[in-house]
Structure 1
Amino acid sequence: MLLSFAAISIDVAKLYSERAQLQNGADAAALMVARACATAAPDGNCSSSPSDNVRTLVRGNAVDGLSNVHSVTVNGVAHTVDVTTSAEEAGSSPNSVSMFFAGILGVTSAEVRASSSVQWGTPVRGIMVLPLAVAECKFNLSRDSQAATEQILEFGSGCGRVPGGFGWVDGTGSQCGLTIGVGMESDATTWFSIDPGASPPTRCSATDLSKMNNQTVLLPLYDKAAGTGTNAGYFIKGFAAFHVTGYKFANDGWPTGSGFAQQEPARLLR
């Protein structure tokens, strides 16, 4: 009896291993499809009909290179992707793996599947590493664009009702970063007070600023501003992702001797 249980445990371990591989494949495929849908990539991956790229990715996560893409469901309205993968084994039933020792008890195979779901869309709330609000009109890309060439933001010029087209967001705590959310203009929580001046807020140290060196960060976008000076405020409409390649503020800059905030590529998240 003990030998029988020991033998069956080997088959169970095989099932767990197979499912883990299928899960990895499903996760990777769902992320690939969601990314393709979010960026409107012309690679054919954003489809409920599994592309060759999706099948290759799923099989690449299997130790033996054998896995089946059971289904891919893309919902363009809800912005969701659901991927289900299933086992594939030569000589076995579809979606199944063979059970060697369990065959003694009449169980010759078992179905193994894994599923993964991903939703894409624009961020609506998050912690901003840099409490800097940028006027939406500062960007050199259209509403339908996904990326632009190098973007240079200068404090002394540009559009936006606040001088320079961007400025610092005030905070009440000691942390440099702020939790910022977007919503309707009538919602008071989407309006944030301005911290006037060209220099970063005193709560932001050189160490805080260095966290964005060569990193992709989200910057809050405003399309309306009201008031003046310390009584001014921004209406945060959304976020833009920047890969920071350089910046220069009053007392801090990276790399040494760099000009104003030079960032590429710019991606406007809508």
Structure 2
Amino acid sequence: MRLTSRLLRRLGPRRLADERGAVAVLVAIMLVPLLGFAAIAVDVASLYADREQLRNAADAAALAVATDCAQGACGNPVATAVSALTANAGAADAAGATLRTPDVSVGGQTVTVTVSADQAHWFAPVLGIDSTRVTATATATWKAMSHGVAQLPLAISWCEYERQIAKYPLTSTVSRRLDWDLSWLSRCTGPKGGTTLGGHALTGTDSASVCRATSSVGQYIDISIWSSWLPNRCSASHLDSLIGSDLQIPVWDDVDGWLFGGYRAHVYGYALFHLTGYQLTYGEPAFYGYFTRAVVPASATSTTGSTPAANLGATSISLSPQG
């Protein structure tokens, strides 16, 4: 027993020294793959960051092209996409990613933009991987508005709208006094071939305290043929707040009702009138501006609905979810 303990005491330090050497060797051996995994983790994290940045850039590019097309000026969609991509993919570019020319496909009322970038790696080249291509795809759709909130309770006939844009095309940005061509009692041929009443009229409002009217394509809205005076709630301060904005105006294609029971107008679509000024006079106020084509913010309108909307210059755009 004493001999055994003496032998253990003699051999213990020597074994410890041997084990310390073995641990050092194992650490040296494992250091290479550990550093490799860490390096790959850094490169992978960079790829994920670049992909997220490219997703945002693809969304911006698709929206930019869709906005141009909705305004009737598709022009050069690739150049538009490149401009939006450059402006929104700065972080990926600064991180060493080389942006490539995007692929743009426009068909019908939809645009699909695929953007890509070659991300140079920091550590992966030791494994023979110099760079990885990252891609992202976004799709945007533009549609004529089928729902609207008019900040001015005014509606016009389809015939009146056609007369107005015949005199002043939607591409014109010259401000002018809005002079009506058709009287309320005039009759004209509507967009579907039937005869309808022309002219313009005030509409009902959402409540007695607001100067706005919400409506949808295919819906009948109340109109007034007796008074052209704006209600008191449509004050000068309210009109002042509308200057410089595009006002949604419901356009009707049919009117029903009778003299003492009131009239209703069938909403065919929406026009946009860019208001530059107004004049409150005795009777009907005078408005200055021009009919235009524009994209209304998504918060102000919706393109959903079972009734298709006519494209009268008022459109909205939406993004499809990315996969």
What is the TM-score when the length of structure 2 is the normalising length? 0.61
Structure 1 contact 129–217 (Cα < 8 Å) conserved: yes
What is the number of residues matched between the two proteins? Answer: 242
> Is 1:171 matched with 2:196?
no
1:23 is matched with which residue: 38, 43, 55?
55
Shift of 1:119: 0.9
1:115 is matched with which residue: 137, 156, 166?
137
> Is 1:261 matched with 2:283?
no
Change (3 A) 1:42 1:118: closer
* Equivalent position amino acid for 1:166 in 2: H
1:194 is matched with which residue: 214, 223, 226?
223
Taking the aligned partners of 1:194 and 1:103, their CA distance within structure 2 comes to 72
Change (3 A) 1:165 1:248: farther
Shift of 1:191: 0.9
Structure 1 contact 128–219 (Cα < 8 Å) conserved: yes
What is the match of residue 147 of structure 1?
Answer: 171
Shift of 1:244: 0.5
Structure 1 contact 135–159 (Cα < 8 Å) conserved: no
Structure 1 or 2, whichever has the larger Rg, is 2
What is the match of residue 27 of structure 2?
Answer: none
> Is 1:242 matched with 2:268?
no
Structure 2 contact 228–283 (Cα < 8 Å) conserved: no
Change (3 A) 1:16 1:38: same
Taking the aligned partners of 1:24 and 1:252, their CA distance within structure 2 comes to 51
Structure (1 or 2) with the greater helix fraction = 2
Change (3 A) 1:233 1:22: same
Taking the aligned partners of 1:151 and 1:234, their CA distance within structure 2 comes to 27
What is the match of residue 244 of structure 2?
Answer: 214
* Equivalent position amino acid for 1:58 in 2: L
Shift of 1:55: 3.2
- SS of the residue 1:232 aligns to: strand
What is the match of residue 90 of structure 1?
Answer: none
Q: Could you list the per-position Cα deviations for residues 62-119 of structure 1 after superposition, in whole angstroms to 9, with x for gaps in the alignment?
A: 333842244222222xx111111011xxxxxxxx313324567886544322222111
* Equivalent position amino acid for 1:221 in 2: V
Change (3 A) 1:109 1:224: same
Taking the aligned partners of 1:201 and 1:6, their CA distance within structure 2 comes to 70
Change (3 A) 1:28 1:214: same
Unaligned runs of 5+ in 1: 46-50, 88-95, 184-189, 254-258
2:148 is matched with which residue: 115, 126, 129?
126
1:99 is matched with which residue: 94, 107, 121?
121
Q: Identity across aligned pairs (percent)?
A: 32
* Equivalent position amino acid for 1:222 in 2: W
Structure 1 contact 32–54 (Cα < 8 Å) conserved: yes
Taking the aligned partners of 1:117 and 1:239, their CA distance within structure 2 comes to 25
What is the match of residue 91 of structure 1?
Answer: none
* RMSD over aligned Cα atoms: 3.7
What is the match of residue 3 of structure 2?
Answer: none
Change (3 A) 1:12 1:126: farther
Change (3 A) 1:160 1:11: farther
Change (3 A) 1:263 1:110: same
Change (3 A) 1:113 1:232: same
Shift of 1:130: 1.4
* Equivalent position amino acid for 2:211 in 1: C
Report the more deviating stretch, 170-179 or 211-220.
Answer: 170-179
